[in-house]
């Protein structure tokens, strides 16, 4: 994070940016600033002047000369009066004698050069020579480079001052409302949207990405201090998606994204995984305790408990998928973690075993959380007995809930409507409206078929035929409108695969889904797939509660001998790269094939 802050500081211009940050930083450090940057007046080499404690503990006059970027030969001395050496000479020749207030003229003087970057090695001797020549009993010199400024910011000084003035209010409110995650996220979302609007090209794009990630990191540090990381978890997802959007916009004509933005993206991924890891570490000790997590939710509402539990399961799945991705990219140095991620599936299973609310969701939207955990199962090639038992039990409970008009899953996404469902679920008209569509049933049915659970699949097909003939069984697939909208939350994009049928058995269902995925190549053209950053798609689905695209899970569910040929290849530099990129998503995730058991239709 320090490197990210240092890069941000190095990117600031001198006027109205770096010199605007410095006075506020000095104030936080206990300095009394008596001269700030001004326009239309001769500065005589001094951008900021303040009174503070010297190294001997006595008051001294600090004169700051601010220069942007790195200190190179050109910035040290050239024909411009804005270079550093002429500025220092002006301070020695004119400012000290004529500009220091009378009441401070008896104090020692410390001349500080402030640079956002670093001093190039070939300039080090020149700088030391100048300092040595002009140092006296009254005058001394200090160097404040990007490392020192970054350390001060990361200690908690001047946190919101890294933002333009108009955005500070949203940032402050996001931090102030950390105990109310929904409210905090409203303000953080406004901050993110405002920052994205400031994207005017490659230079501003890089700065926006840095500001965005610094703000997220600061939010996380504050939340970690108060013991509530819910808002930072969601903020880290949004910041990561927004950073990916900036990276996506930076792709040049050769299909190569900006290198500096890629570096910021790695920071964003690392930050998200830090927050995710903290979340998983927090809940892991309780997943093996019967009703442990349910009780920790501290709500008397079964709706709250159900929503929270499936949300936790989805986060475990997403965390594990990131870890799976990192295994393949460890050499790239994106992030380093211990071996704890290997237990993500185990933690999820313990969560399901000890919290019966996870045996049936209350909302069809929770299919996303279920799909994320199932996707992790595919990626890690785990023993299938546990997931088989879970889906069979879920099918039985779904059957019972719908036939008795109990607490069956509703297609509503509104909390108030889901709460109202508790009291109106037996009404026939309400039932038809609440079960008008389902992404849960096709997902479960496809998995039951692949796992060879013929009896459970037939029971589900019978339920649909007898009780849900009005229900549209559907899945979601990305299309050409998805790429520009998926990461920043476009209102409508993608297309629905509708009118799926269970009447002719599971093989027809999975073949129909697979054929629909093969017909178009929009999925293969999504930027996270092109650049082998597929977990970004899962983050987008999780954050915006989109159904996980069937392209990511359907092919491993097909019988081995009926696997589809590779989809149309995305343009790539070499034929081999093209084939690899076009391979089914299941293979890119390292997923094993699931072969149906004997007797499955």
pLDDT in tens, 324-348: 898 887 654 444 444 445 578 899 9
For the stretch 255-285, pLDDT in tens is: 788 888 998 899 899 999 999 999 999 999 9
- pLDDT tens string 295-316: 999 899 999 999 999 999 999 9
Provide the 3-class DSSP secondary structure of residue 383.
coil
**Per-residue pLDDT tens over the stretch 7-34:** 767 767 666 567 777 887 788 788 999 9
Could you give phi then psi for residue 599, rounded to 5 degrees? 100, -10
- HSE (side-chain half, CA atoms, 13 Å) at 473: 23
Higher pLDDT, 343 or 435: 435
The DSSP call for residue 368 is: H
From the list 347, 318, 557, 350, the residue with the least C-alpha distance to 444 is 557
Chain-centroid distance, C-alpha 380: 23
Is a pLDDT exceeding 90 seen at residue 376?
yes
What does the pLDDT look like over 130-167, one tens digit per residue? 999 999 999 999 998 888 888 877 665 555 666 777 78
Q: What is the pLDDT of residue 342?
A: 57
Strand partners, 112: 64, 142
Res. 187: pLDDT tops 80: yes
Residue 248 has pLDDT above 90, yes or no: yes
Token digits of residue 102: 């009378």
Above 60 in pLDDT, residue 100?
A: yes
The pLDDT, as a whole number, for residue 69 is 77
Indicate the pLDDT class of residue 105, thresholds 50, 70 and 90: very high
Percent of the chain with pLDDT over 90: 56
pLDDT at 566 over 60: no
pLDDT at residue 368 greater than cutoff 90: yes
Does residue 427 surpass a pLDDT of 90? Answer: no
The tokens for 533 are: 């950053």
CB 287 within 8 A of CB 347: yes
Say which range, 103-107, 201-205, 369-373, 531-535, has the weakest mean pLDDT. 201-205
Mention every residue, 6+ apart, whose C-beta is less than 8 A from residue 87. Answer: 45, 65, 67, 81
Q: Phi, psi at residue 33, to the nearest 5°? A: -85, 120
User: Given a cut of 90, is residue 527 above it in pLDDT?
Assistant: yes
Q: What pLDDT score was predicted for residue 155? A: 67
Nearest to 539 by CA among 341, 349, 314: 314
What the block records as the tokens of 465 is 């035929």
CA gap 502, 17 in Å, rounded: 62
Angle (CA) 499-410-468 rounded to 5° is: 40
**DSSP secondary structure string for all residues of 34-91:** EE---SSS--TT-SEEEEEE-TTSSEEEEEEEEE-S-B-HHHHSSSSTTSHHHHHHHI
Banded pLDDT at 482 (limits 50, 70, 90): very high
For residue 386, pLDDT beyond 70: yes
pLDDT band at 425 (very low <50, low <70, confident <90, very high): low
Which of 331-345, 354-368, 530-544 has the weakest average pLDDT? 331-345
**What is the pLDDT, as a whole number, of residue 582?**
26
More confident residue, 577 or 369: 369
**415 is written with which tokens?**
């909390």
What's the rounded Cα separation, in Å, for the pair 376 and 325?
11
Q: Give the chain's end-to-end CA distance (angstroms, integer).
A: 54
Half-sphere exposure of 80 (CA within 13 A, CB side): 8
How much is the pLDDT for 560?
62
The stretch 389-407 carries a mean pLDDT of 95
């Amino acid at each position: 994070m320090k490197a990210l802050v240092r890069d941000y500081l190095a990117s600031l211009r001198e006027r109205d940016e770096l010199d605007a940050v410095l006075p506020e930083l000095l104030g936080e450090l206990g300095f009394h600033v008596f001269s700030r940057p001004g326009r239309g007046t001769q500065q005589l080499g001094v951008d900021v002047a303040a009174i503070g404690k010297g190294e001997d503990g006595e008051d001294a006059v600090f004169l700051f000369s601010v220069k942007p970027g790195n200190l190179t030969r050109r910035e040290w001395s050239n024909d411009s009066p804005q270079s550093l050496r002429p500025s220092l000479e002006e301070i020695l020749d004119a400012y000290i004698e004529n500009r220091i207030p009378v009441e401070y003229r008896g104090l020692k003087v410390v001349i500080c050069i402030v640079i956002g970057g670093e001093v190039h090695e070939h300039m080090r001797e020149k700088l030391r020579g100048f300092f040595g020549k002009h140092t006296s009993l009254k005058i001394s010199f200090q160097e404040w480079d990007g490392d020192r400024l970054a350390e001060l910011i990361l200690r908690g000084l001047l946190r919101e001052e890294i933002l333009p003035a108009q955005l500070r209010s949203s940032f402050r409110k996001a931090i102030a409302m950390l105990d109310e995650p929904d409210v905090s996220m409203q303000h953080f979302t406004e901050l993110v949207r405002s920052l994205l609007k400031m994207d005017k090209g490659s230079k501003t794009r890089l700065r926006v990405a840095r500001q965005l990630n610094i703000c997220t990191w600061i939010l996380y540090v504050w939340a970690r201090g108060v013991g509530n990381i819910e808002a930072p978890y969601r903020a880290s997802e949004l910041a990561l998606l927004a950073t990916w959007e900036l990276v996506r916009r930076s792709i040049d004509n050769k299909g190569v994204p900006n290198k500096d933005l890629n570096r910021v993206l790695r920071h964003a991924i690392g930050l998200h995984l830090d927050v995710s890891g903290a979340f998983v570490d927090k809940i892991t000790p309780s997943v093996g305790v019967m009703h442990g997590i349910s009780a920790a939710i501290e709500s008397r509402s079964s709706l709250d408990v159900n929503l929270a539990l499936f949300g936790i399961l989805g986060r475990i799945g997403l965390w594990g998928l990131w870890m799976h991705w990192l295994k393949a990219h460890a050499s790239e140095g994106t992030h380093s973690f211990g071996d704890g991620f290997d237990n993500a599936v185990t933690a999820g299973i313990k969560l399901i075993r000890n919290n019966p609310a996870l045996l049936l969701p209350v909302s069809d939207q929770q299919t996303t959380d279920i799909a994320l955990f199932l996707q992790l199962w595919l990626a890690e090639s785990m023993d299938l007995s546990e997931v088989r038992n879970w889906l069979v039990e879920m099918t039985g409970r779904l059957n019972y809930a719908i036939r008795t008009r109990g607490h069956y899953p509703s297609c509503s996404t509104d909390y108030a409507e889901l709460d109202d469902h508790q009291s109106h679920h037996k009404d026939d008209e309400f039932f038809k409206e609440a079960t008008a569509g389902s992404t849960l049933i096709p997902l479960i049915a496809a998995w039951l078929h692949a796992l060879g659970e013929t009896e459970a699949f037939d029971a589900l097909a019978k339920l649909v035929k007898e009780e849900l003939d009005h229900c549209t069984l559907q899945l979601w697939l990305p299309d050409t409108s998805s790429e520009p909208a998926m990461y920043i939350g476009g209102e409508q994009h993608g297309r629905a695969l509708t009118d799926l049928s269970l009447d002719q058995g599971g093989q027809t269902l999975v073949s129909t889904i697979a054929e629909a995925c093969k017909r178009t190549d929009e999925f293969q053209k999504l930027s996270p797939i092109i650049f082998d950053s597929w977990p970004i798609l899962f983050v987008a689905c999780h954050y915006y509660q989109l159904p996980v695209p069937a392209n990511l899970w359907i092919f491993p569910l097909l019988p081995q001998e009926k696997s589809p040929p590779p989809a149309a290849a995305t343009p790539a530099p070499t034929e081999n790269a093209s084939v690899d990129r076009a391979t089914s998503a299941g293979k890119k995730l390292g997923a094993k094939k699931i072969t149906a058991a004997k007797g499955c239709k």
